[in-house]
Structure 1
Amino acid sequence: MTNVRIGVMYDRAWDPAGLVGFARQAEEIGLDDLWVVEDLGWNGGVSAAAIALGATTRLRVGIGIAPAPLRSPALLAMELATLERAFPGRLVAGIGHGASNWMAQVGLAPKSALAMLEETFTAVRALLRGEKVELDGREVHIDGVRLVHPPEVAPPLVAGVVQPRSLELAGRVADGTLLAEGHGPDDVRTAWELARKGGAGDGFGVVAYAAGAIDDDPDRAAAALREFLAGHAAWLGRTPDELFTVSGTAAQAATRIEELVDAGAQTVILRVFGPEPLGQMAALLAARAAEPAEG
């Protein structure tokens, strides 16, 4: 069994009222991470992260993802700095392009999505380091802003991206890449190749989201994922059978995680479908614990 952070997503479809109890139980069963979602019309990522961090004492909380066009870099840096100072070492923030149709709905579609993402990362990282930021970019304009309370250590910022140019950009501006559900080991390897091409150095990492359904009956697990995979495959431009999942029996799911880790993922976050998602995660952790340790 290889060393990897295992976490769970608090799905955007779930009522935020249940987040406190879910976060506490996720911590109790031994998960490493809980990732919250920011999608237009669904939930706010920063507020959800604050709720989860406040409800727990050990769990690392990830924001996956904050859409760059929707978030002023200055405000995003202020929010992240506040969380990091209050809960040091327990925050990871994902930033991405945001769905283009959603950004258009709110009048925030950038002229250059790549410039918007790069300039957002540049500004947010500098602000979190306590620097005074002067940036007159193609999309981002900041005139002499400095945080009064920057964190002692800036939280990691990862790029939630899909396309090759954006994956390369991640290596240049981010601390890691966050891959969407459906991406498998080959995609993890490609993300690493492009990140290194972009200049990724020591400390860079890959976080892999994965759709998951864990059941003693593999057919029942597959049925729980079917509807999601059909819609998600269209978004990725793939067929449902091309999408990678962490599913089946607990032992089968544990093996699938190892495939992602062997390809270079340091963190695997499951978006769980079917009943009792944390019960499924507990079964997965037990199956991993039963595997012989490497070395």
Structure 2
Amino acid sequence: MTTLGFVLRPQFPPERFESVIRTADEAGLEELWLWEDCFFESGIAPAAAALAWTTNVRIGIGLLPVPLRNVALSTMEVATIERMFPGRAMIAWGHGAQKWMGQAGARVESPLTLLREYLTALRRLLDGEEVTVDGRYVKLDAVQLTWPASAKIYAGAIGPKSVALCGELADGVIIEARAGVDGVRRARELVGDTPITVYIRAAIGDGAQERIDREKTDEFGVAGDDIPVMIERLAEAGANAVILQPTADEPDLEGLVRYTASLR
């Protein structure tokens, strides 16, 4: 059965998060995802709060940009969250938007090389190994976590080489709303049996299609009665989880969360 979830976009202010997240838990939503977009909100801080506010819903972060985050620090955060909230956090990693990475002074010449080095080191550290590595970007000298945790690693990307790398090294692959059915099908060919999570822009209620059309983006979107049909099509194409993504001007986030939960 396809997992359904909702993403709380960083275009909404942090003070809106608690109500939406609590609503997701109360409604029985399976997954609620957060983003770390420059320069809106961080990912780890609201995820930790979300986990503390709830008891059942799984909380995801997609994606944390690896150029911005030292892998030793990232692993400490992942392991800490996993030990505090076992099995409920889904933390995903990716290249980060290259323009934003440049603005932050963190852009690298080979994002693919960095992601491979990063995910490999992350896995070894979470497994409790003492890691020494002198890679092109990742450099560690006898680093070992005092409190390791067997957390799953998620990763996401757009290009085929990066998607394939995510399928090779991660426990789950995240692809964005622009993918659509064909994009999910292509990703499935690239990642084999690795689970795929895909976002889909969605809107319900009065003016739903207008909100989808008004948001100028190349990301795929559906409204109203077309939503469950598209979820089925994405599942048939190979998606294991479909995450509804509101428009930036969604007037009723809690209502859309309840609707998402009702589709189970």
Question: Normalising by structure 1, what TM-score?
Answer: 0.85
Matched, 1:206 2:196: yes
Cα distance per residue 1:122-155 (max 9 Å; x no partner): 111111111111111111111110100011x32x
Instruction: Return the alpha-carbon distance in structure 2 between the equivalents of residues 284 and 62 of structure 1.
Output: 16
Residue from 188, 192, 195 that aligns with 2:191:
195
Instruction: Return the alpha-carbon distance in structure 1 between the equivalents of residues 66 and 163 of structure 2.
Output: 15
Residue from 32, 36, 39 that aligns with 1:38:
36
Matched, 1:93 2:91: yes
Matched, 1:124 2:126: no
Matched, 1:268 2:223: no
Conserved 8 A contact 1:112-1:139: no
Q: Secondary structure at the match of 1:27?
A: helix
Instruction: Return the alpha-carbon distance in structure 2 between the equivalents of residues 37 and 171 of structure 1.
Output: 20
**180-189 or 84-93, which moves further after superposition?**
180-189
Instruction: Return the alpha-carbon distance in structure 2 between the equivalents of residues 188 and 24 of structure 1.
Output: 30
Cα RMSD (Å) of the superposition? 1.4
What amino acid is the match of 1:258?
E
Matched, 1:255 2:205: no
| Correspondence list, 1:26-175, <5 A | 26-151=24-149, 153-154=150-151, 156-175=152-171
- Look up the match of 2:174: 178
Q: Deviation at 1:118?
A: 0.7
Q: Secondary structure at the match of 2:51?
A: helix
**85-94 or 170-179, which moves further after superposition?**
170-179
Instruction: Return the alpha-carbon distance in structure 2 between the equivalents of residues 284 and 43 of structure 1.
Output: 24
**175-184 or 91-100, which moves further after superposition?**
175-184
- Look up the match of 1:280: 256
Instruction: Return the alpha-carbon distance in structure 2 between the equivalents of residues 139 and 227 of structure 1.
Output: 41
* Structure 1: tracts of 5 or more residues without a match: 234-242, 290-295
Conserved 8 A contact 2:158-2:176: yes
Instruction: Return the alpha-carbon distance in structure 2 between the equivalents of residues 208 and 81 of structure 1.
Output: 25
Structure 1 runs of 4+ with >2 Å offset: 280-286
Q: Deviation at 1:284?
A: 4.2
Residue from 208, 212, 228 that aligns with 1:221:
208
Q: 1:284 to 1:40 in 2, by over 3 A?
A: closer
Instruction: Return the alpha-carbon distance in structure 1 between the equivalents of residues 121 and 202 of structure 2.
Output: 35
Instruction: Return the alpha-carbon distance in structure 1 between the equivalents of residues 254 and 18 of structure 2.
Output: 14
Instruction: Return the alpha-carbon distance in structure 2 between the equivalents of residues 49 and 284 of structure 1.
Output: 20
**59-68 or 267-276, which moves further after superposition?**
267-276
For these two proteins, the number of residue pairs brought into alignment is 262
Conserved 8 A contact 2:14-2:41: yes
Query: How much identity, in percent, do the aligned residues show?
Result: 38
Q: Deviation at 1:97?
A: 0.4
Instruction: Return the alpha-carbon distance in structure 2 between the equivalents of residues 278 and 188 of structure 1.
Output: 28
Q: Secondary structure at the match of 1:269?
A: strand
Question: Normalising by structure 2, what TM-score?
Answer: 0.95
Instruction: Return the alpha-carbon distance in structure 2 between the equivalents of residues 14 and 137 of structure 1.
Output: 38
Conserved 8 A contact 1:254-1:284: no
Q: Secondary structure at the match of 1:58?
A: coil
Conserved 8 A contact 2:244-2:260: no
Conserved 8 A contact 1:121-1:173: yes
What amino acid is the match of 2:228?
A
* Structure 2: tracts of 5 or more residues without a match: none
**174-183 or 276-285, which moves further after superposition?**
276-285
